[in-house]
Amino acid sequence: MKPVIVVHGGAGRIFREREEGCRAGVVRAALRGYALLKQGGTAVDAVEEAVRSMEDDPHFNAGCGSVLNEKGEVEMDAIIMDGKNLDSGAVSAVKCIANPIKLARLVMEKTKHMLLTDHGAHLFAQAMGIPEIPGEKLITERSRERWKKNLEPDSNPEEFQKDLGTVGAVAIDSEGNVACATSTGGLSNKMIGRVGDTACIGSGGYADNHSGATSTTGHGESIMKVVLARLILYHMEQGMSPEVAADTALDYMKTRVGGLGGVIVVNKAGEWAARFSTKQMSWATVKDDNLHYGIYAGEKHIKSVDEALASEREGF
In angstroms, the CA 77 to CA 198 distance is: 6
258 in Cβ contact with 244 (< 8 Å)? no
Residue ranges of the annotated binding site for substrate are 194-197, 217-220
In angstroms, the CA 291 to CA 236 distance is: 24
In angstroms, the CA 152 to CA 295 distance is: 31
In angstroms, the CA 3 to CA 21 distance is: 26
In angstroms, the CA 181 to CA 254 distance is: 24
In sequence order, which residues have a C-beta less than 8 Å from that of residue 92 and are 6 or more positions away? 77, 115, 116, 117, 118, 121, 195, 198, 199
Burial of 161 (0-12, 13-18, 19+ CB in 10 A): buried
Q: Residues 166, 198, 214, 278: which is the catalytic one?
A: 166
**Cα torsion angle, 157, 118, 59, 141, sign:** positive
182 is an active site residue:
no
Q: Which of 298, 299, 310, 303 is nearest to 287 (CA)?
A: 303
How many other C-beta atoms lie within 10 A of the C-beta of residue 113? 12
In angstroms, the CA 283 to CA 275 distance is: 9
52 in Cβ contact with 25 (< 8 Å)? no
* Catalytic annotation, residues: 166
